[in-house]
A and B are shown apart, each in its own frame.
Chain A
Amino acid sequence: MNPQEILAKLPYSKPFLFVDELLQIDENGSTGTYTFDKDLDFYKGHFKDAPVTPGVILTETMAQIGLVCLGIYLSESANTEMKAHVMLTSTAMDFMKPVFPGEKVTVTAEKVYFRFKKLNCNVVMKNEAGETVCKGNISGMVTAKMHD
């Protein structure tokens, strides 16, 4: 499966799609980018008069590019009949630098393991200056159903 096919299979749409490009994907990991639209609604309140991308949104961005794209790739490569969904089950993140409206970030995910439908990845997000803005570990269950 190529990156375009995976992007087409993502179950998100605006304003909750946080993947613009999937630059690379293989059985060991994925790399993708996203530019935070300065008009995203949450910037109005996080924070009042001082917009900064919330940590949960950075986590979601890393989950979509790392866990979800990779989960779809891994399970659908193995079984083309199956429509894969990825349920987030745990995260552990460190945040180093703020991400402001309009910034472009690159997320790189490395598979730690994919066993018994559980995918565990180490993820790193960098800004355009190449500085690490956040990193951590994230995991989810790859299932055939949207709800379990």
Chain B
Amino acid sequence: MEKEALISAIKEIVSPYTEDKTTLENISEETDFITDLKVNSANLVDIVLDIEEKFGIEIDNDSMAKMLNVKAAMEIIEAKLAENDRK
């Protein structure tokens, strides 16, 4: 999947969970969900569940623990999609 398309998909998923629309508008790989977008831990779970549904992947506890910024989320999505392709 194209990098830009992936960021844009993440941006759409995160949108309902952040009040910081300026940061969301300028989202990049470096954006941190908690410190930059001010998402709380409970909403971070919802973001991950929405990512699972959108991409048809299953995120395990270890991946969840790493899912703190956009770059990590992109790497995990790409890795899980590749796993699905191999199956």
B64 at the binding interface (Cβ < 8 Å)? yes
| Neighbouring A residues of B64 by C-beta, 8 Å | 116
A141 touches B42 (CB 8 A): yes
B42 touches A89 (CB 8 A): yes
B48 at the binding interface (Cβ < 8 Å)? yes
Chain B nearest CB, measured from A36 CB (Å): 29
Docked CA distance A90–B39 (Å): 13
Chain B nearest CB, measured from A98 CB (Å): 30
B48 touches A116 (CB 8 A): yes
| Neighbouring A residues of B48 by C-beta, 8 Å | 116
Docked CA distance A141–B44 (Å): 11
Q: Please tell me the number of chain B residues within 8 Å of chain A, measured between CB atoms.
A: 10
Q: Please tell me the number of chain A residues within 8 Å of chain B, measured between CB atoms.
A: 11
Binary contact readout B31-50 vs A (1 if CB under 8 angstroms, 0 otherwise): 00000000011110110110
A115 at the binding interface (Cβ < 8 Å)? yes
Which of A115, A139, A140, A141 counts the most chain B CB atoms within 10 A?
A: A115
Q: A116-B61, A116-B64 are in contact. Are A140 and B42 (CB under 8 A)?
A: yes
Chain B nearest CB, measured from A7 CB (Å): 25
| Neighbouring B residues of A141 by C-beta, 8 Å | 41-42, 45
- B40 touches which of A89, A115, A116 (Cβ 8 Å): A89
Chain A nearest CB, measured from B56 CB (Å): 16
Considering the complex, give the chain B residue whose CB is closest to the CB of A139. B42
Q: List 18 A-B contacts (CB under 8 A).
A: A89-B40, A89-B41, A89-B43, A90-B42, A113-B49, A115-B45, A116-B45, A116-B61, A116-B64, A117-B45, A118-B41, A118-B45, A118-B46, A140-B42, A141-B41, A141-B42, A141-B45, A148-B41
**9 new A-B pairs (CB below 8 Å) besides A115-B45, A116-B48, A141-B45?**
A89-B41, A89-B42, A89-B43, A90-B42, A115-B49, A116-B64, A118-B41, A141-B42, A148-B41
